[in-house]
Amino acid sequence: MLCLLALLKVLPLAAGVHVTAQQASSFAGATSSDVFTATATGPDTSNFPEPSVVGFAGPTPTGDEPFLLQTGLSAPQKSDIFPLEHPQVLLGNTPQTSTSFNPARYWGNLSPWFSVDSAANGLPGASARAPKGCIIKQIHMLQRHGARYPAAGDPPAQFATFLHGVANSTGFKAIGTLEFLNTWTFELGAELLTTFGQQQLFERGSTFRILYGKLLDGFSHTPVFRTTSEARMVDSAINFAAGFFGVQTYQNSYRLEVEIESEPFNNTLAPWENCLPNGNNFFNLGTEATVAWIQVYLPNAVKRLQPQIKGLNLTTEIVYAMQSLCAFETVSVGSSEFCGLFTEEEWKGYEYSLDLNFWYGSGPGNPVTAAQGIGYVQELLGRLTNTIPSTGSSVNSTLDNDTTTFPLDQPIYFDFTHDTVISVIIAAMNFTSFNAAGPLPLTHIPANNAYHVQHIAPFATQLTGQVLECPVSSNNSTLVSNIRWVLNDAVIPLTGIEQCASHKNKDGLCPLDVFITGIKQLIAEVDWTFDCTANYTNPGVPNNLTGGKPIRH
């Protein structure tokens, strides 16, 4: 969730144009729903019988389940954004496709996911594949939805309304690299999965089957998937399931638990509705940080682009919206002419704007993030110890109190959620390898910054807990239970969990009983009632917080 609503206050509007944060742009494509207008009203089984009625399916024997991360020689790596067009970058004064620099790797939470090297987390040589001698026994998967359209009130839609407002009032004329604006229209919807986003989740599902499919043999009941009620969340879960189980069988292969994403319902996969201290939305701290950084890194872009358009005064906020349009158009319609307007350094600046947005909005520099993420940690503890989770946070006491809707015996747990929820859970679990450069400054990009949102929460990001049985040592073949966490194929060191720190190893493993003791301590350290309901001082930005908790007195 990109929290940049403060930009609406500083993005100038043309005379006579009024836009609110809830108003969809009149230049978007479909404005009512995601239904294809030519969709049939119902099945015509007389003319188009179902495949099962037609028969003649041919041979259908299935093979054994794949288990690549257990049996393969290495873990697969994702690097491309096919079928999207490689985004351009400005070289000199001419937009060019540079294969040595990929702007799509610098779009933060708007980046299509890609495999990250474990070296980025301080574990060079570690792999998502099971370490030698270890056997994968259980998986805890957190999956973000795929690529989506921007929100109706986000900068891209605001820019479209602003630009067309100017065109209809005083007019403008663009030349050079901006010439395309003379005929440009806004063609994006709002918040729904794009076609590419659907593909991402289908591929995620089929890939997951290849990586971990053998664990399906351990199910004693129909698998339960959990997601939230927003359309892109439901669509993500369904597309994943279709890829995981196959399009002819997926509908009868799992149960989809849809948790309501709205106030006042408790929901660990969308916990912010239940954690607003004194009614304050501290997500806005991220917006404040981003707005401050925009004034630092974009003035040169404004100066370079302004001579190419007459009748429109560019600002850093307008140009920032144009950078966002590059990302959103690419993942929506496949390419964007906005991409070639910016230099490599400006794309690195854009990435940092989103690092700041998450650090202070839903990461270590926000006082409520650990509390918002702790509900999932409580559920994780319940699953690992075969107990119903305790309440007193965002845990849904109705759904989580019944093993039908909250099973405790699944070899794979499937949870679909948002980017900011991934980031608050990372804060709640104290994955400190991402905090090396914190607190993040608003004046420059620190050379040792380890908090890269395109690594943490890109479109279709996946955080996976692997429970493995491993030998005690090279000299002792007795198997004991361990756990480790893998984020977009990169193993995360668990040194931020005090009890695991003394068990540090090259593969990121922590003995399961030790890890359980550690997360019990993390849960105990969060005062959910105080953090989420008390009237305490807003720390502002920048601040000295690095653990996602308020300073309690």
Residue 414 falls inside a structural domain: yes
**Spatial separation of the C-alpha atoms in residues 424 and 549, rounded to whole Å:** 11
Does 301 reside within a domain?
Answer: yes
pLDDT of 136 higher than 60: yes
pLDDT bin (cut points 50, 70, 90) of residue 29 is: very low
pLDDT of residue 2: 41
% of the chain at pLDDT higher than 70: 92
d(CA 59, CA 135): 33
pLDDT band at 22 (very low <50, low <70, confident <90, very high): very low
Q: Name the CA dihedral angle for 14, 18, 21, 27, rounded to a multiple of 10 degrees.
A: -70
Is 54 within the bounds of a domain? no
Q: Are 247 and 280 in contact (CB under 8 A)?
A: no
Residue-averaged pLDDT of the chain: 90
What is the three-class DSSP state of 93? coil
Position 119 in a domain = yes
More confidently predicted of 73 and 489: 489
Q: How much of the chain exceeds pLDDT 90, in percent?
A: 76
How sure is the predictor about 8, in pLDDT bands with cuts at 50, 70 and 90? Answer: very low
Helix ranges, 429-541 (H): 453-456, 498-501, 512-525, 528-533
Highest mean pLDDT among 11-20, 71-80, 422-431: 422-431
Residue 262 DSSP label: S
CA torsion 313-318-323-324 (nearest 10°) is -150
Over the stretch 149-188, which tens digit does the pLDDT of each residue have? Answer: 998 888 999 999 999 899 888 999 999 999 999 999 999 9
Q: Is residue 310 part of a domain?
A: yes
Q: What is the pLDDT of residue 32?
A: 55
Residue 4 has pLDDT above 50, yes or no: no
- The model's pLDDT over 49-102, given as tens digits with 9 standing for 90+, comes to 888 899 898 988 889 999 999 999 899 999 999 999 999 998 887 888 877 899
- Whether residue 29 lies inside any domain: the answer is no
3-state class of 404 per DSSP? coil
CA distance 448 to 132: 32
DSSP H or E run through 510: strand 510-511
Residue 29 to residue 155: CA distance in whole angstroms = 17
Mean pLDDT of 515-520: 97
Q: Is residue 48 part of a domain?
A: no
Q: Is 330 exposed, middle or buried (0-12, 13-18, 19+ CB in 10 A)?
A: buried
The pLDDT value recorded for residue 35 is 66
pLDDT (0 to 100) of residue 502: 86
**Could you tell me how far CA 511 lies from the centroid of its own chain?**
28
Q: What is the pLDDT of residues 194-206, one digit of tens each?
A: 999 999 999 999 9
Q: How far apart are CA 277 and CA 413, in angstroms?
A: 31
The secondary element (H helix, E strand) that includes residue 134 is: none
Instruction: Please state the domain count of the chain.
Output: 1
User: The domain that contains 377 carries what CATH number?
Assistant: 3.40.50.1240
Instruction: Check residue 236 and give its pLDDT.
Output: 98
366 near 541, Cβ under 8 Å? no
- Chain-centroid distance of CA 40 in Å reads 34
Residue 154 near residue 320 (C-beta atoms within 8 A) = no
- Its domain, for residue 469, covers 7-12+92-533
H helix runs in 283-343, sequence order: 284-297, 299-305, 316-333
Cis peptide before 511 (omega within 30 of 0): no
34 pLDDT exceeds 70? no
Give residue 21's pLDDT. Answer: 29
Residue 449 lies in a domain: yes
* Predicted local confidence at residue 33, as pLDDT: 62
